Amino acid sequence: MSAVKTVLKISKKVILVFICIFILWIFAGVLCNYYETIYPIKKLERLPNANYITEIVKLKDEGKLEEALSLAKFVKEHPDMPGQEDAAVLEAEIEQKLHSKSYIVRQFAKGAITGSADTSAGMLGAIASDLSIYGDFRDVLVQGYKYVTGKEADPFVAVLAGVGVLTSVSLHIDVVPILLKEFKKAKVLSSEFIEVILKVCRDAIKHNEVTEDLKYLFTNIFDVYKKLGFTRSKYLIRTVDSSDDVALAAKLLKDIPDEVFVLAYKNPDLIRNIRNVSYKTDDMEYILKIGAKKGDAGLKYLNKLNKPLFKYSRILAKDIKLGRFNTAFIKDILLNFIKKVPYIIYVVWFVLIITIWYLIKTIVDIYILFPRKKRQISIS
């Protein structure tokens, strides 16, 4: 009879062990997610806002007026940032020069004549001179002439010219080959992204139609250009390596274009750093908004987003996202509750420690209850 009672006690203890392990799995996962997502944001919020005035003056002196104006306006739009008076003065000076007729005409003419541009006005001139089907045929003939005469032809320009012939019926898509040629001249396209562009364009030329892949790529590139203009979009395009990267960039620009530009200007790997993070879009946009105000300190934080504290937390986040685990309990209740009441994190720690203690105690109890053979002592 005592043996039956012992087995029942052991069975109850084993059930308690599994319950403790389940609780540990939940609360350890919540803690890992908290310290990987929520806690870093709180640390980021506590950092002092950066002073961009020196950067604005430097850009102005270098003749990068559009970049300087964007930074000055960004400072003005955030009254809690330092240098408000200086930003207002610089904004007025830069706008006066940018909007002067002589500057616009000079830049437009330069773009129209040379077909190259480093400003938005110059880009409009380049588009005006190139935005016709004869311009694409001209590029094809130029590259063909180079090939025949033994000079090195640029396959990138030749392929874009071929695609331009296909897309000339659509105004917004037809602009993109011109943009890409200028991005290439400005050396802001990564080698990986150039390969993607060539692959997509060659596939379209092969099928003699605007394929879905081409439309997806070119539409998102145009959306980036439409939101930032040529000069500012260069900084964002240099941070992408694929069609999906461009789609992510275009998506972020819909709500926070100024913040995205400021971060892309400061960080040439912006999209590469954030494309695989586990944050929701709203959280990611909030992080970028805060990070842009923090300057270099904010950039250091963003560079760490792709480096999880623990592999376990990344696995748990994936399980939650795919609905494999108790999503409602973990994500919607605990993590959201911690966001609203930060002190709840101490309760989570307390429960975790108590559970670990109780788990160890229960395992010890099982060991004590487990029947063992008695030693037989022989008396000689």
Cβ-based burial of 99 (10 A; exposed 0-12, middle 13-18, buried ≥19): exposed
What pLDDT does residue 310 have? Answer: 43
pLDDT of residue 211 exceeding 80, the answer is yes
Q: What is the pTM of this model?
A: 0.70
Buried-state track 201-229, b at ≥16 Cβ within 10 A, e below 16 = beebbeeeebbeebeebbbbbbbbbebbb
Confidence of residue 380 (pLDDT cuts 50, 70, 90): very low
pLDDT of residue 271 exceeding 50, the answer is yes
What pLDDT does residue 37 have? Answer: 72
Tell me the one-letter amino acid at 45: E
Task: Note the Cα 174 to chain centre separation in Å.
Answer: 27
Average pLDDT over residues 304-314: 52
Closest to 261 in 3D by CA, of 95, 64, 121: 64
In tens, the pLDDT along 127-168 reads: 666 555 545 555 556 556 555 565 565 788 778 877 876 666
Higher pLDDT, 69 or 13: 69
Higher pLDDT, 121 or 224: 224
Q: Helix 65-76 vs helix 257-266: angle between axes, to the nearest 10 degrees?
A: 130
Report CA Rg, the chain: 30
pLDDT of residue 305 exceeding 70, the answer is no
Counting residues of the chain whose pLDDT is more than 90, the rounded percentage is 24
Q: Using CA atoms, how far apart are residues 322 and 277, in angstroms rounded to an integer?
A: 15
Place of tokens 């992408």: 240
pLDDT of residue 312 exceeding 50, the answer is no
pLDDT of residue 197 exceeding 90, the answer is yes
Confidence of residue 113 (pLDDT cuts 50, 70, 90): low
Confidence of residue 234 (pLDDT cuts 50, 70, 90): very high
Closest to 322 in 3D by CA, of 277, 282, 284, 278: 278
> What DSSP string runs through 248-316?
HHHHHHTT-HHHHHHHHHH-TTHHHHHTT----HHHHHHHHHHHHHHTHHHHHHHHTTTS-S-HHHHHH
pLDDT of residue 275 exceeding 80, the answer is yes
What pLDDT does residue 321 have? Answer: 47
Average pLDDT over residues 273-283: 76
Confidence of residue 327 (pLDDT cuts 50, 70, 90): very low
Q: Using CA atoms, how far apart are residues 224 and 228, in angstroms rounded to an integer?
A: 6
Q: Using CA atoms, how far apart are residues 66 and 209, in angstroms rounded to an integer?
A: 37
User: Average pLDDT, whole number, for the chain?
Assistant: 78
Determine the Cα angle at 157 with ends 156 and 163, to 5°.
90
pLDDT of residue 375 exceeding 60, the answer is no
